[in-house]
Structure 1
Amino acid sequence: MISFLEQTLNSIENTYQDLSKPIFILPSQRAVSFLKQLMAKRTNKATFLPEIYSIESFIEKVAGLQQIDNTTTLFKLYEVYISLINKEDQETFETFSGWAQTIIGDFNEIDRYLIPSDEFFNYLSEIKDKDHWYLADEKTTLIENYLKFWKQLPQLYNALYSSLISSKKGYQGLIYREAANNIDTYLSTNNKTHIFIGFNALNNAEQHIIQQSIKKDCAEVFWDLDEVFYNDTFHDASHFIRSYYKNWKVFENKQFNGGHNFSNKKEISIIGTPKKIGQAKAVGQILNDIPANKLSSTAVILGDETLLLPLLNAIPKHIKDVNITMGLPLQKVPLASFFELLFTLQLNNTSELYYKHVLELFNHPSLQYVLEVSKLNVVSYINTGNIVSIKFDSLIAQSSAEESEIVKLLFSSSENNPEHFISRILKIIQYLKQNLSVEQSVLREYLYRFNVLFNKLEHLLSTFSHISNISVLHTIYKDMLSNETLDFIGKKHDGLQIMGVLETRVLDFENIIITSVNEGILPSGKSANSYLPYDLKKEYGLPTYKEKDAIYTYHFYHMLQRCNQAHIIFNTEAGDLNSGEKSRFITQLQVEAQNYPKHSYNNLITLPKVPKITSQLRTVQKTAQVMDQIKYRAKSGFSPSALTLYMRNPIDFYTRYVLGVGDTEEVEETVAYNTLGTVVHDTLEQLYTPYIGELLNADIIKVMTTKADKQVALEFNNTYSKSSLDKGMNLLIFEVAKRYVHNFLKLEKKRLDNGEDIQILKIEEDNNVPITINGIDFPVNLRGKVDRVEKTNGITRIIDYKTGNVDLAKVTVKSWDDLNTDYDKYSKSFQILQYAYMMHLKTPFLNPIEAGIISFKNLKSGFLPFNYNKNTEITTETFKAFSEQLEQLIKDICNPNIPFVEKELKDPFKG
């Protein structure tokens, strides 16, 4: 394969014996680099390289202006804005910056396309006026202000233009307009031949410059376009170049002369695979099959440049030489989230700090070597105290003396002062840099780049006075961060090339791999960040989405033009943004296949290899150490919850009661359901305890009702946190707890009104009783706390409170055989029977007894008694049947020959 640059140099050498004489202009700096390298290879003697420019560098040279970035342009525009607009009508910089960036983009387009500004803005103002025409004679204040804004645009534009020109600076479009104005002057002092190579979609300023240069016999143009596209008047790949040959007077008698490369033999694979990771892995598999000597002529072209990081992890390990032409976006590096957290703390800074922000910062990888002691102390303090909001002084008190300096820098308030905040961040960067180990070279590079960025921000703060608070500073920071990149270091022209679509201009590769060839990416679609209506753009020749589609068409076909092998990968996942639908370019290729018999096509849909995972239920043998723990647990007492947990899943019992592994202690920001249950239980305990042994009456219920709300609040304070319960979800749960208690007391009063005698015998009584089981030669106890024991109309009731929803079916037993195995059906029955059985072992009951549940979510059903075949009275036969099931369950737990075997639990979604 002979590349376009090689063909172009061959042609130029036929005209110019000395290649150092002409001036070369190319579309990108990347193309400049490749041309220089190619020229160096073609000479075997010492010589001077010619002047070689990217188009933007050349335009700056002709204009004689220095380009400024968008952020500086924004500040310059605001200075112009406040000098023109009445003070009472001025917007703050924060509001202004919300729309001004779009205006700057539109100014940029107007200048690059040499649109007469006054005429254009007057036309735009008239359009906006007609858009808001209506029958009423008078316009509203809102409409008046809206139309006034559009009428002010010419003033803003002209004032900004004048201000920048006077300082010899400009945004890109302004520089293009000035270069177009200066081209004749420039050419009069520089009569060298200017060779423009590989251009396609030229703005009006570029067209004017090239035409004037050709007209003065100072330029040649080499187009990188196959004749097969040029001759097809409907093919968008040649849309722009055909228009130049049709409309430029300097081409009036010239014929287009292109190559015939696209029709050559090509192997084209079209590969559909899901998600970004799937595409990255597909690229890795393709690269794995490419011989090492072919990698230097291979390019991976990312339609979506956010695929870069997954791709880097998917490159086969044997590929050592990789050149990445695009930079890694600075906002994608891990340290970016660290500085975003610092901004978040300041933007939310009140008298107290939100615990999640504090923990996120303490747990950030960037701080792992500088906050080791303080991190442990603070995390423990927050979790054990269930602290949702933490005071700054408390945070410092929990920090170690050695680390207090950095903790103060991280968490103290800057009082919404941008200068103070930037100063603190720069100190934090220096602190981290000084505490880095030698191995942390990557973090050192990250810190350096962020140090540069914050120094730029500090310079902006000192130059302009418009950043009045940290919110505005954050907006500017994010805008600047989005344009910053970390450049990769590598051999520019050796090994595998990874690049974006625009960087492929002028360059050719034998093997290409293009990713993300989906609608909305290639081409990019109709989205446009502009205030200019489509019809107005069309009228003045500004690019619309149709022209952008033609640009993408050119790039796509140019990538394929000289390659021998192409892999075109698209995302098949319909759930992703801009994905699921393959690009129209793929369909177009497939339709055109009949016109190119030398092309071979291979269509594939690939899926990542997913290993078959066989779910194996765990088994734990009862070793001597395990048996020691079981004996200890037996002696301390088996509770109903422990035994029913074994019924549910023996492995869970082993984890919790043998290994002693409980739930991770975390902050309970929203009151958990078990906390709600504890609060209700403890409230009722406190309300009823003074009346143990007494018969309840309406006056007692009335007294408890008046105390209920205060007691609920007190129990929340003791059980949950001293944090406020006056807002959000916690307020709702707090009200639910109060409602539960009040509804329960109403139920009690209703029972009294219906003639029931209610005597409270016991409240929250702890029980721990020994039990003798044949075959077990070590002590076994049963333990548990009974919520309430009452005597009503001569019947003793053992009552268990449940804040969840329980119905009668859950306390009904039809057969004893499954009582100790079927958790879903019988766990509630098992628990209340164990409570009754323990109390019976402790002190045998003399009166008829019942055991049951009061469900706070099902209070209308009242007391739900355990029943066996519809018989609610618990008799000696009931205890005998239950004790047999209980003893068998405990024997299984204590039997060293029966391992803990995991149960396959039911899928809650399948039932």
Structure 2
Amino acid sequence: MNNEQNKAMKTFLESVAADMLQKYKSEMGHTAVVFPNKRAALFLNRAIARLSDGPVWSPAYITISDLFRQHSTLTVADPILTIAILHESYTKITGSNEDLDRFFSWGQLLLSDFDDLDKNMGDARKIFRNVSDLHELDTLSYLDEDEINILRRFFKNFTADDTLLKEKFLRLWSKMADIYTDFKDNLRRRGLAYEGMLYRDVVEGGEIPYLYERYLFVGFNVIQKVEQRLFSDLKSKGMARFYWDYDRYYMGSGNEAGVYIRQWLDKYPNELRNDDDSIYDNMLSGKKIDFVSSPTENLQARFISTWLRENDRYKDGSRTAIVMCDENLLQTVVHCIPPEVKELNVTTGYPLKQTPIASLVAQLISLQTRGWDDKHRAFRLHHVNSVLRHPYARHISPSAQEIYQEINKEKRFYLRPTDMAKDDGLAEVFSREGMTIDTTVRADGYDLTAMLRWLMAVVKRVAVNGIAHTAKHDIPLFQESCFRMYKLLNSLLTTIGTGRTSGTPEDDSTAPVSTIGDTISIYTFQHLMMQIINTTSIPFHGEPVKGVQVMGVLETRNLDFDHILILSCNEGNMPKGVDDTSFIPHAIRAAYGLTTVDNKVAVYSYYFHSMLQRASDVTIAYNTSTEGASSGEMSRFMLQLMVEMPKSQTIGKTALQAGQIPAPMIPEVVVKDDDVMTALNTIKKLSPTAINTYMRCGMQFFYKYVAQIRELDEQDEDEIDNKMFGNIFHRAAELLYERPRKDIDTILNIAFNEELFGLKTNTEAEPQLNGIQLINRSVIKRYLMMLIELDKQLGDFKVIAHETDVAMRLKLNDRTITVGGRIDRLDRVDIGTPRERLRVVDYKTGTRTAGDITAVDDVFRPENITGKHADYIFQAMLYSIIEAENDFTYNPNHDTVSPALLFIQRTKVKDYDPTITMNKQPITDISVHRDTFVRLLKEKLNELFNPDVPFGLSNDPKVCRVCPYRLMCGK
């Protein structure tokens, strides 16, 4: 690119600057330049400085909003306070008892309607009367589905009957003008206003004492009626001049981009020459336009590096712009700027919601609400963990990680504030002091002002302590995000804590006064908090008119660039989510000149075309993916360009593809090389679970026992998983026979305390259980009673041991290995044939039983492990073989042993016998099958330790579905 040529190209603001210097150079100090937004002022000021041949007074730069506010004694109220005051007027006029929580969401929509009505100088009495007249129709057919849905969300106890819905609609709208009037009076008494109200008050309030001799209105497009009134007033006094930014390409009647400026050129004449082709005839001046399709949003962002380097676009600095139609791309865009770019100006702020401090605040609020258990007067472990695991927890307490490990090791599911007060930081975070109030004052019992002060104190602690632990290049964002959050919380505290919702400032003695904090629930508070965070940005600091520009669509107004890359130019992003959601039907809006969806589309059409009109090098990217909310369609304005551009202006089309195609994960085997064999040779003992894992899937065995990649084992305090349920039952069943004089409830207390809460052995105190845990306790108690009833049927039997370890050594081809594990119960029974025998009993609390096997080798077939639960049978048979010939403690005479799987949920079956069957016959003497079983087991273990046999993958999809390592092997 020719940099000198680029610099010589005249932008709209340079044309304005030249005209201002020619006409008002000596009068700049008495001139105000009014813009739709603040951004363009910096560029105009630079243009004036560059074009001036000497020192010159700078004019005042203000926005249209500033101009109105300069001439009003009212203050634009905080949005939360405004909705609360609107709610007061609504309940007063309608007599409704609807609370602020329910009102808040649709109250925002109502406020938007009132704001639009005032900005367009609508007559509320006429508009709402006409709406009522319109509803004399017998049906609601003139309302679209979205409007009916809004009404249904609004009205309480509605039915699908159109007649009832119509009746309620009419009842509301017959009061709407009165609500509007009372609401404005209510605000005015407080010295407050919403923006539209303030604007209207200024132009209807009589003579305006303007502060400047001359007002230059630059780059406006849509002008609402209240602004037109101001413009006309200034023009009639000879105090207004107008500079219009447009291109003849879209000024014809067929293009909506020029619909507004076409109206204004005669009414508010242009200071620049409309016949100046260098300013107003650039859209068709041989520009290079490329459409780029991309399969993903991120690939568009990665394209930035290529685009900036191509033809050295980045060297043109502020004449090069990257525009995001979806500003959520900001973080990705910034990370994709190539190192060659030494200066970068980001106009859009960094979203506060994407910072760690925002997630910390969300988790802190959750800790004090869902995380607090009032019954136990303690915090729930899950929510405590969320705070302690947060990256900023170390700024709260240096012991955060240590405390996290400690409380999870102990499985303490309920933690009192005193339990967590290990230091000042933890004591502050896990405090409940002042957080609650009398439920007669607030039904939910929360003091929102106290909660906000607590949040501010924690954020302040994080900000003060965090500098020392934050990387140097991250400190600015860390500091600014903490500052913004603290400021936001403080502002919300002021609004919630002092905002009046009744009474007047002039008459405190006779009118009751309450705060917003008294009228909104904790859940609405959370919603508001997150809503405010989501709309707050952290501004970037730097020289705004230098370097490559990164901005959103709205920031491009009145600015011109030579090279422009527009990202995510999809339908839905451009135009941006335009809709006609309103309580005022479309027909009435159109009739009274209020804003409609057509107005919004026309505004975005102007934004789109004005971005392109003076650029010589345009690249527009869009996402073709239809996943999620994306339509995968290019913007309607891109299609319009393709149709309307003359044939001499070709539009290039490019499709982005990933430079690297991700290789599909192909299931492979793990070869037993030297490293694998070294790790494998460290295994000296194998449990039945490990052996079954190997038979089920060699790769799973490798990950778990050789590579020793363990599954996460974090217990949720609200639930008892299958493993924990089984552990508690096993311990309770053991105690049942160890301590027959203890009642079942005491036994259950001990089992829960030991297994769930990790307390010392034999702790009989009743544990504090939540609802789900109490249900599990009840089920386990019922299972114990079923076990007792089953054992009664055995007659003469004796429980010999519970939870006893057994093992045997097997000599393999090149090593000796120990196999064994823990028997749930060993008993001696006097039933069946032979009459007396030992039973190795394995308790099972699940619903799925083991199937019948036809031969010993069935338990060594992988397909039977999941199909018939052969892993259960394998374990019981192995323990029985060990007990029959290796256990000299409980079976010194090597009496007959049989394997049994006692499925608790099956005990009600008539003549239930837990003994394992083969060919539907109970195995009453395991020695009959001993040799076959041991031979097959040795074969399997020799295979396991054979360096020439790799670890393979299971072919059973059922195994893969529940395997924790399935993403690692790619099966």
* TM score, norm. by length of structure 1: 0.83
**1:800 and 2:800 are equivalent in the alignment:** no
Match of 1:841 in 2: 885
Give 1:302 deviation, angstroms: 1.3
Equivalent residue of 2:340, what SS?
Answer: coil
**1:453 and 2:488 are equivalent in the alignment:** yes
Separation of aligned partners in 1, 2:812 and 2:186: 99
Match of 1:577 in 2: 629
Equivalent residue of 2:466, what SS?
Answer: coil
Equivalent residue of 1:499, what SS?
Answer: strand
Match of 1:558 in 2: 610
Match of 1:370 in 2: 396
Say if 2:842 and 2:901, in contact at 8 Å, map to a contact too. Answer: yes
**1:831 and 2:875 are equivalent in the alignment:** yes
Match of 2:515 among 425, 445, 466: 466
Separation of aligned partners in 1, 2:339 and 2:921: 72
Say if 2:865 and 2:871, in contact at 8 Å, map to a contact too. Answer: yes
- What amino acid maps onto 2:258 in structure 1? S
Match of 2:364 in 1: 342
Match of 2:122 among 115, 118, 131: 115
Equivalent residue of 1:800, what SS?
Answer: strand
Separation of aligned partners in 1, 2:905 and 2:275: 83
Separation of aligned partners in 2, 1:645 and 1:573: 41
- What amino acid maps onto 1:364 in structure 2? H
Separation of aligned partners in 2, 1:327 and 1:683: 59
Match of 1:391 among 408, 416, 425: 416
Matches within 5 A, 1:41-56: 41-56=50-65
Give 1:779 deviation, angstroms: 7.7
Matches within 5 A, 1:773-792: 773=811, 780=818, 782-785=820-823, 787-789=825-827, 790-792=829-831
Match of 1:5 among 5, 10, 13: 13
Give 1:850 deviation, angstroms: 4.8
Match of 1:353 in 2: 379
- What amino acid maps onto 2:13 in structure 1? L
Equivalent residue of 1:851, what SS?
Answer: strand
Say if 2:916 and 2:922, in contact at 8 Å, map to a contact too. Answer: no
Separation of aligned partners in 2, 1:487 and 1:493: 15
Separation of aligned partners in 1, 2:139 and 2:414: 50
**1:239 and 2:259 are equivalent in the alignment:** yes
Match of 1:201 in 2: 222
Matches within 5 A, 1:506-545: 506-545=558-597
Equivalent residue of 2:576, what SS?
Answer: coil
Say if 1:263 and 1:596, in contact at 8 Å, map to a contact too. Answer: no
Match of 1:277 among 295, 298, 303: 298
Match of 2:181 in 1: 158
Percent of aligned pairs with the same residue?
A: 22
- What amino acid maps onto 1:331 in structure 2? K
**1:599 and 2:650 are equivalent in the alignment:** yes
Give 1:808 deviation, angstroms: 5.9
Separation of aligned partners in 2, 1:612 and 1:488: 39
Give 1:835 deviation, angstroms: 1.6
Say if 1:266 and 1:600, in contact at 8 Å, map to a contact too. Answer: no
Unaligned runs of 5+ in 1: 692-702
Q: Deviations over 1:801-852 (max 9, x none)?
A: 3334656657444758956998657534432321221022135988876535
Say if 2:806 and 2:883, in contact at 8 Å, map to a contact too. Answer: no
Separation of aligned partners in 1, 2:812 and 2:353: 69
Q: Deviations over 1:290-340 (max 9, x none)?
A: 513134211111112222122222222332211111222323321112222
Separation of aligned partners in 2, 1:18 and 1:793: 118
Say if 1:620 and 1:900, in contact at 8 Å, map to a contact too. Answer: no
**1:38 and 2:68 are equivalent in the alignment:** no
Separation of aligned partners in 2, 1:112 and 1:665: 59
Separation of aligned partners in 1, 2:139 and 2:708: 72
Match of 1:304 among 326, 341, 351: 326
Equivalent residue of 1:435, what SS?
Answer: helix
Q: In structure 2, do the counterparts of structure 1 residues 129 and 60 end up closer, same or farther at CA, with 3 Å as the change threshold? A: farther
Q: Deviations over 1:518-570 (max 9, x none)?
A: 22221234534532222221111111112111111111122121222222222
Say if 2:695 and 2:860, in contact at 8 Å, map to a contact too. Answer: no
Q: In structure 2, do the counterparts of structure 1 residues 466 and 675 end up closer, same or farther at CA, with 3 Å as the change threshold? A: same
Q: In structure 2, do the counterparts of structure 1 residues 551 and 834 end up closer, same or farther at CA, with 3 Å as the change threshold? A: same
Separation of aligned partners in 2, 1:345 and 1:657: 38
Match of 1:727 among 750, 771, 775: 771
Separation of aligned partners in 2, 1:331 and 1:324: 17
Q: Deviations over 1:220-243 (max 9, x none)?
A: 433222212112x22111222234
- What amino acid maps onto 1:462 in structure 2? T
Matches within 5 A, 1:406-425: 406-409=428-431, 413-415=435-437, 416-425=446-455
Q: In structure 2, do the counterparts of structure 1 residues 792 and 241 end up closer, same or farther at CA, with 3 Å as the change threshold? A: same
Q: In structure 2, do the counterparts of structure 1 residues 819 and 523 end up closer, same or farther at CA, with 3 Å as the change threshold? A: closer
Give 1:42 deviation, angstroms: 0.6
Say if 1:650 and 1:900, in contact at 8 Å, map to a contact too. Answer: no
Separation of aligned partners in 2, 1:436 and 1:91: 44
Separation of aligned partners in 2, 1:436 and 1:526: 42
Equivalent residue of 2:321, what SS?
Answer: strand
Match of 1:29 among 9, 19, 38: 38
Matches within 5 A, 1:682-693: 682-686=731-735
**1:104 and 2:125 are equivalent in the alignment:** no
- What amino acid maps onto 1:239 in structure 2? V
Q: Deviations over 1:460-492 (max 9, x none)?
A: 323533233472654554454344321101211
Give 1:203 deviation, angstroms: 0.9
Q: CA RMSD in A?
A: 4.3
Q: In structure 2, do the counterparts of structure 1 residues 125 and 25 end up closer, same or farther at CA, with 3 Å as the change threshold? A: same
Q: Which moved more, 1:518-527 or 1:655-664?
A: 655-664
Q: Which moved more, 1:485-494 or 1:756-765?
A: 756-765
Give 1:128 deviation, angstroms: 6.2
Match of 1:435 among 450, 462, 465: 465
Give 1:45 deviation, angstroms: 0.8
Separation of aligned partners in 2, 1:815 and 1:35: 87
Separation of aligned partners in 2, 1:539 and 1:573: 39
Match of 1:672 in 2: 721
Equivalent residue of 1:585, what SS?
Answer: helix
Q: In structure 2, do the counterparts of structure 1 residues 847 and 72 end up closer, same or farther at CA, with 3 Å as the change threshold? A: closer
- What amino acid maps onto 1:172 in structure 2? E
Separation of aligned partners in 1, 2:302 and 2:570: 17
Match of 1:696 in 2: none
Say if 2:580 and 2:586, in contact at 8 Å, map to a contact too. Answer: no
Separation of aligned partners in 2, 1:170 and 1:904: 70
Count how many residue pairs are aligned between Structure 1 and Structure 2: 868
Q: In structure 2, do the counterparts of structure 1 residues 807 and 821 end up closer, same or farther at CA, with 3 Å as the change threshold? A: closer
Separation of aligned partners in 1, 2:803 and 2:528: 63
Match of 2:343 in 1: 321
Say if 2:873 and 2:916, in contact at 8 Å, map to a contact too. Answer: no
Equivalent residue of 2:293, what SS?
Answer: strand
Equivalent residue of 1:53, what SS?
Answer: strand
Separation of aligned partners in 2, 1:656 and 1:491: 55
Match of 2:934 in 1: 883
